[in-house]
Amino acid sequence: MDADLVIVGAGLFGLTVAQQAVEHTGAKVEIIDVRKHIGGNAYSYVDEETGAEIHQYGAHLFHTSNKRVWDYVNRFTEFTNYVHRVYATHDGEVYPLPINLGTINQFFHAHYTPAEAQKLIEEQAGELAGTDPANLNDKGIQLIGRPLYEAFIKNYTGKQWQTDPAELPASIIKRLPVRFNYDNRYFKDTWEGLPKDGYTKWMERMIDDPRIHVTLGVDFFDESQPLNKKALVGKVPVVYTGPVDRYFDYELGDLKWRTVDFKEVRYDEGDHFGCPVMNFSDADVPYTRAIEFKNFNPERKDSQNPNKTVVWEEYSRFAERGDEPYYPVNTAEDKALYAQYEAKAAAEPKVVFGGRLGTYKYYDMHNVIDTALTAYEEQVAPLLAK
């Protein structure tokens, strides 16, 4: 095999490392992925019937306050001026999220000033005010008061985790933003937008170099094909972005993940929800949210079908082997297990572990790119220099 570096996984981490390796050292890079496409979970495609760009693994929204990352991604794509705003349906009524002064005044049929709303929330925390609860249920009440917590967070979180929030650790939510003004912009980062011509085009440009070769539909653990773990590890530098427990054949046990399933619904109308993401906060709706993809790209209306739209309903559950792992469960037991795998990973010859799956961390896209740039500088570049 004529490659100086092998990257397992064609997601943003692997693509960033590949691009950096070629740019800075002229290395020949082989990227392999078990999937039939590049881009990892950020992969998208255009739906023929509606003209909508479908995010195959759920809504992907780019935002960052990291100038290094922003400057880097703008080398490969321009971004739209999309600003993410989320709405939630509760008890037959639609409210803006995150909880802000508009949500509060609509919910309580009031016209509170910011100071009055802040005082109300503190009062509604009741006996939990000023405490530091250990479980999610009490932490939610302490942060935003019981009425708002029970309306917008309790049942949504219960569906998301399939667990009573009273049995979940408070660390899952850490903080619930409440804005005592009418700002309903979901993210507070400096830069935000969606790639003008789609995620896949962006990532194709990242690796548009003859020194980068991509082989899709290849399983790193399948020894019947040449690009496998046994044949490569220790012989050539490898960047591995798959599940860290899978790399070691689960010998210490399985790390736990949450996954999501999607149910597609098509409507004979141009716009069903009027927004890209609608949360469903009530327990009697089995899914957590619905994604209407056309509404991410209103600037493309001339290429979209004005009479058809497609919506994906999102259902959350615990992942099993073979499922797509989305969110690390990260219990104390999982963290302890990962620490053992991390120690084993550090001892692997010429192997760099990265990305969500390789490091058992939940990352937004900008975090993945930032950690990939750092991993290239600190770990991969020294391997290529040897």
Region label for 31, one of left (φ > 0), alpha (ψ between -120 and 50) or beta (otherwise): beta
Residue 291 counted as domain residue: no
Question: In which domain, by residue range, is 125 found?
Answer: 86-172
Are 19 and 138 part of one and the same domain? no
Contacts 24+ apart (CB under 8 A), 92-98: 94/278, 95/152, 96/184, 97/152, 97/184, 97/186, 97/279, 98/176, 98/177, 98/178, 98/179, 98/184, 98/186
pLDDT tens across 299-324, in order?
999 999 999 999 999 999 999 998 99
3-class DSSP assignment, residue 267:
strand
CATH code where residue 153 lies: 1.10.3110
pLDDT of residue 130 exceeding 80, the answer is yes
When divided into structural domains, the chain yields a total of: 2
Q: Which of 156, 192, 258, 370 is catalytic?
A: 258
207 shares a domain with 94: no
112 tagged catalytic: no
Whether 175 is catalytic: yes
Q: What is the pLDDT of residues 89-122, one digit of tens each?
A: 999 999 999 999 999 999 999 999 999 999 999 9
Residue 280 belongs to some domain of the structure: no
Same-domain pairing of 69 and 110: no
Read off the DSSP letter of residue 325: P
Q: Do 17 and 143 reside in the same domain of the chain?
A: no
- Residues 91 and 225 reside in one and the same domain: no
Cβ contact 17:249 at 8 Å: no
310 domain-assigned: no
| Known catalytic residue at 266 | no
Catalytic residue among 23, 68, 299, 362: 362
Same domain, 129 and 54: no
Residues 60 and 110 placed together within one structural domain of the fold: no
Token readout for 166 is 């009273």
Same domain? 53 vs 93: no
pLDDT digits (tens, 9 = 90+) for 4-61: 999 999 999 999 999 999 999 999 999 999 999 999 999 999 999 999 999 999 999 9
Residue 362 is assigned to a structural domain of this protein? yes
Q: Catalytic site residue 327?
A: no
Query: Could you confirm whether 72 is annotated as catalytic?
Result: no
In CATH, what number is assigned to the domain containing residue 31? Answer: 3.40.50.720
- The active-site residue, picked from 91, 132, 175, 249, is 175
- Answer whether 0.85 is exceeded by the pTM: yes
What is residue 175's predicted lDDT score, i.e. its pLDDT?
Answer: 65
pLDDT digits (tens, 9 = 90+) for 136-163: 999 999 989 999 999 999 999 999 988 8
- Tell whether 73 and 220 lie within a shared domain: yes
| 99: in domain | yes
133 and 61 in one domain? no
